[in-house]
């Protein structure tokens, strides 16, 4: 029997082998125009590369917001103009197994080992001239036993009781009280606790005396006479502090009487074993394990996780499964170390500061250090486990907002505006162009005159005038819809002329004459018989118009007449970077938005050019 020929693969049957010498006329006899166009497009390496990159960006900006959500009210002055960095939680290897103390600053970490050596990591630059990594020589030579990290300064305590401060000192951050300037060797105080806040610091002696210093204009640092002695522990919020007294009561030691912190719950008047503070709240732990939070709890700091188990019988009282031994405060979150070794975090989770890794509670945790958006848990082996803010991959802007988050969510707005505007323009252009091209005569003249009127409207001045008239009368969503409609309504004239020209050529062909002779309705002839033959050209026009509409939206936002802040778009992100200082010093604010926008636009144009080449019969076979 004759040997059967091997059946060609589906890919080869669909697109053929361009390296095989084949009669072009034979190919045209067996391939539809659509298959031929698709085959040419798939073999266009530049076009396929552009399509793949564009699809990746498309997925990036449309699926990304479901995982990286944006808070339009986000405004964090502790994260302003942080460059691209991802090392805020990278504890130096020298500290592994030898940790004495760790403190978390706004964008950096500070630690000392049991040998008294000090370390710093993360983004340490405070201003153009102040960098916390420039640790004073006297600190490097001293044996450090405790550290504290503030927003813009650091405090260290030597084994001789000497205090050291470096960083920003402009607002009195280094103005240590005279009583604490003398080392213990010379008869000075024995300091047992140090803390650093926003622009202030504090220290507690073994005699129960507490001292504060720093920016007294912003911070309530005075201590009332009744609370200058008998202090067991203190906790500093952004501008205020609270004291845990030796009798187990919690008090507000400042002199202000109209803030949320001096309204301490009555239940904290006795039996308190530990206290902590976030930026806007304070918390106390009772002897029975109950945690009570007060202050401005806008970031859910008061939503303490339930540490109880359900009773077996309905009439039984729930019992505490574990009590917190210690409590620690970050900027907007709390972390507690339980007596069974578990670690619990709650509050705001904007930087994953309460997402405790599962491996942490599998270890025997000995102590925890928390501050701002970072957490460090040390187990009995001395190993440190971290969670929280690692950094900002693309940096932050002048309001402390993450650039990556705004690029993802802003890209969704920019692409949506461009896509919807193109759909509107294509629909209007196809209808008007189809009518003008098929009927001709008076209909053609009327449509073309209408197109000329719309084409004569200067788009940017019109959009600016419209924006000035509307002002802030409509919300962001309606304003975005308005931009889509205006872009679409004023952008259809080019499509109209293109479709008209194509239909003028197609309507003279035999298949149109045959359809007319058969009594086919003219609407059907236009949209079912003629338009499919000009669909390839329309696809090219739509692709190129998409990139143009994206550019126009970004231009409007850049000029201040597009999508308004705080809603992000690639255009208004670039508008916010339109500053010589930003361009020179904060390059990440304009490089990354312009880079992704430029790549996206170039890729769309590459796809459009590839489609145009695929539609062109001259490109077949080359």
Residue 269 has pLDDT above 60, yes or no: yes
Q: What is the DSSP string of 369-405?
A: EEETTEEEEEETTS-EEEEE---BTT-B-TTS-BHHH
**Inter-CA distances, 381 with 98, 212, 384, 385, Å:** 9, 35, 9, 11
Burial of 425 (0-12, 13-18, 19+ CB in 10 A): buried
**pLDDT at residue 410 is higher than 70:** yes
Task: Decide if 444 is inside a domain.
Answer: yes
What pLDDT digit, counting tens, does each position of 121-150 carry? 999 999 888 999 999 999 999 999 999 999
**Per residue in 246-268, pLDDT tens?**
999 999 988 887 788 888 999 99
Using pLDDT thresholds of 50, 70 and 90, give the confidence band for residue 29.
Answer: very low
Task: Give, rounded to a whole angstrom, the gap between the first and last alpha carbons of the chain.
Answer: 40
pLDDT band at 622 (very low <50, low <70, confident <90, very high): very low
Question: Quick one: average pLDDT of 321-350?
Answer: 89
Interval 482-486 mean pLDDT:
80
Cα–Cα distances in Å, from 531 out to 447, 495, 546?
18, 13, 20
Neighbours of 260 (CB within 10 A): 15
pLDDT-derived band at 34, boundaries 50, 70, 90: low
Of 172-176, 414-418, 563-567, minimum mean pLDDT range: 563-567
Q: What are phi and psi of 291, to 5 degrees?
A: -110, 125
Please check whether residue 312 lies inside any domain of the structure: no
Residue 300: CB atoms within 10 A of its CB come to: 15
Q: What is the mean pLDDT of residues 422-426?
A: 87
What is the SS3 assignment for 214?
A: strand
Q: What is the pLDDT of residues 74-132, one digit of tens each?
A: 888 889 999 999 999 999 998 888 899 999 999 999 999 999 999 999 999 998 889 99
| Tokens coding 596 | 């992704």
CA 380 to chain CA centroid, Å, is: 36
Estimate the crossing angle of helix 441-455 against helix 493-506, to 10 degrees.
Answer: 160
According to the model, what pLDDT value does residue 117 have? 95
Q: Are 223 and 212 contacting, i.e. CB atoms less than 8 angstroms apart?
A: yes
Q: Determine phi and psi for 391, rounding to 5 degrees.
A: 150, -165
* pLDDT score, position 263: 87
Assigned token pair, 223? 């201590």
| Number of domains present in the structure of the chain | 1
Whether 425 maps to a domain, the answer reads yes
Cα–Cα distance for residue pair 280/270, rounded to 1 Å:
23
Pick from 101, 190, 107: nearest CA to 148:
101
CB count, 10 Å around CB of 75? 12
Mean pLDDT of 526-530: 73
Q: Distance between CA atoms of 69 and 55, rounded to whole angstroms?
A: 21
Least confident of 287-296, 347-356, 424-433, 555-564: 555-564
| Nearest to 542, CA basis, from 383, 423, 428, 416 | 423
Residue 356: phi, psi to the nearest 5? Answer: -75, 125
Of 544, 444, 434, which is closest to residue 496 (Cα–Cα)? Answer: 434
**Residue 126 tokens, joined:** 């405070």
CATH number, domain at 565?
1.10.3720.10
Domain region containing 603: 32-66+403-619
Does residue 203 lie within any of the structural domains? no
pLDDT band at 9; cut points 50, 70, 90:
very low
Residue of 160, 148, 74 whose CA lies nearest to 111: 148
CA atoms within 13 A on the CB side of 12: 7
Which residues, other chains included, contact 140 with Cβ-Cβ below 8 Å and sequence gap of 6+? Answer: 118
Question: CA dist 414 to 478, 481, 569, Å?
Answer: 15, 12, 6
Determine, yes or no, domain membership for 59. Answer: yes
> pLDDT confidence of 183, banded at 50, 70, 90?
confident
Of 271 and 414, more confident? 271
Position 465 in a domain:
yes
pLDDT digits (tens, 9 = 90+) for 50-61: 889 989 998 988
Give the pLDDT of residue 313.
Answer: 40
Q: What is the pLDDT of residue 560?
A: 66
Strand runs (DSSP E) across 281-393, as ranges?
Answer: 281-286, 291-295, 308-309, 319-320, 324-329, 333-338, 343-347, 365-371, 374-379, 384-388
Residue 43 pLDDT > 90, yes or no? no
**Which of the four pLDDT bands, split at 50, 70 and 90, describes residue 620?**
very low
Using DSSP's 3-state secondary structure scheme, residue 408 falls into helix
Strand order in the sheet with 108-113: 99-104, 108-113, 118-122
What are the C-alpha distances in Å from 610 to residues 6, 51, 291?
Answer: 33, 10, 65
Q: Tell how far CA 209 is from the center of its chain.
A: 43
Q: Does 209 map to a domain?
A: no
- The reported pLDDT for the residue numbered 500 is 86
Rounded to whole angstroms, the Cα distance separating 503 from 434 reads: 7
Q: Is there a contact between 34 and 55 (Cβ–Cβ < 8 Å)?
A: no
Q: How far apart are CA 78 and CA 371, in angstroms?
A: 12
- Domain-embedded: residue 238: no
pLDDT at 317 over 50: no
- pLDDT for 107 equals 93
Output the pLDDT for position 385. Answer: 92
Report the percent of the chain where pLDDT is more than 70: 89
pLDDT tens-digit readout, 297-316:
888 899 988 753 333 444 44
């Amino acid at each position: 029997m004759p040997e059967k020929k091997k059946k060609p693969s589906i890919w080869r049957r669909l697109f053929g082998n361009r390296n095989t010498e084949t009669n072009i006329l034979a190919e045209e006899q067996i391939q539809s125009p659509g298959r031929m166009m698709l085959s040419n497009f798939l073999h266009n390496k530049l076009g396929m590369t552009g399509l793949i990159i564009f699809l990746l960006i498309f997925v990036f900006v449309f699926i990304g917001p479901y995982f990286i959500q944006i808070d339009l009210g986000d405004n964090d002055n502790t994260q302003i103009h942080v460059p691209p960095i991802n090392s805020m939680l990278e504890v130096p290897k020298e500290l592994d197994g030898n940790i004495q103390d760790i403190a978390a600053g706004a964008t950096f970490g500070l630690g000392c080992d049991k040998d008294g050596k000090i370390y710093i990591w993360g983004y340490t630059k405070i201003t153009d001239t102040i960098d916390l990594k420039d640790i004073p020589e006297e600190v490097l030579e001293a044996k450090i036993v405790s550290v504290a990290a503030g927003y813009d300064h650091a405090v260290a305590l030597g084994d001789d009781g000497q205090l050291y401060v470096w960083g920003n000192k402009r607002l009195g951050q280094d103005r240590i009280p005279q009583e604490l300037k003398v080392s213990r060797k010379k008869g000075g105080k024995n300091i047992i606790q140090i803390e650093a806040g926003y622009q202030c610091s504090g220290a507690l002696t073994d005699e129960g005396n507490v001292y504060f210093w720093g920016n007294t204009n912003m911070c309530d640092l005075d201590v009332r006479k009744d609370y200058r002695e008998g202090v067991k522990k203190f906790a500093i919020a952004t501008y205020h502090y609270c004291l845990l007294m030796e009798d187990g009561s919690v008090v507000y030691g400042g002199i202000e009487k109209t803030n949320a912190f001096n309204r301490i719950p009555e239940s904290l008047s006795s039996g308190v074993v530990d206290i902590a503070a976030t930026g806007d709240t304070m918390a106390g732990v009772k002897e029975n394990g109950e945690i009570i939070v007060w202050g401005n709890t806008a970031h859910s700091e008061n939503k303490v996780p339930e540490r109880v188990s359900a009773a077996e019988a309905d009439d039984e009282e729930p019992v505490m499964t574990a009590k917190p031994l210690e409590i620690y405060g970050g900027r907007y979150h709390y972390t507690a170390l339980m007596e069974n070794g578990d670690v619990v975090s709650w509050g705001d989770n904007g930087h994953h500061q309460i997402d405790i890794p599962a491996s942490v509670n599998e270890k025997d945790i000995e102590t925890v250090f928390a501050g701002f958006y970072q957490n460090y848990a040390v187990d009995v082996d001395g190993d440190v486990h971290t969670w929280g803010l690692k950094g900002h991959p693309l940096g932050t802007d002048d309001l402390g907002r993450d650039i990556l988050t705004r690029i993802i969510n802003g890209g969704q707005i920019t692409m949506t505006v461009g896509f919807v505007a193109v759909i509107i323009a294509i629909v209007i252009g196809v209808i008007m162009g189809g009518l003008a091209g098929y009927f001709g005569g008076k209909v053609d003249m009327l449509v073309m005159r209408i197109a000329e009127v719309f084409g004569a409207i200067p788009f940017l001045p019109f959009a600016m005038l419209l924006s000035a008239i509307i002002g802030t009368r409509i919300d962001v969503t309606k304003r975005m819809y308005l931009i889509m409609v205006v872009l679409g309504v004023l952008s259809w004239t080019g499509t109209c002329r293109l479709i008209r020209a194509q239909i003028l050529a197609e309507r003279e062909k035999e298949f149109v004459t045959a359809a007319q002779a058969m009594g086919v309705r003219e609407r059907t002839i236009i949209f079912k018989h003629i338009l499919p033959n000009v669909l390839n050209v329309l696809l090219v026009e739509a692709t190129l118009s998409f990139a143009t509409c994206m550019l126009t939206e970004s231009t409007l936002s850049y000029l201040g007449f597009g999508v308004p802040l705080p809603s992000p778009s690639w255009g208004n992100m670039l508008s916010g970077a339109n500053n010589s200082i930003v361009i020179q010093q904060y390059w990440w604010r304009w490089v990354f938005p312009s880079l992704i926008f430029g790549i996206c636009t170039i890729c769309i144009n590459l796809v459009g050019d590839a489609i145009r080449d695929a539609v062109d019969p001259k490109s077949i076979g080359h």
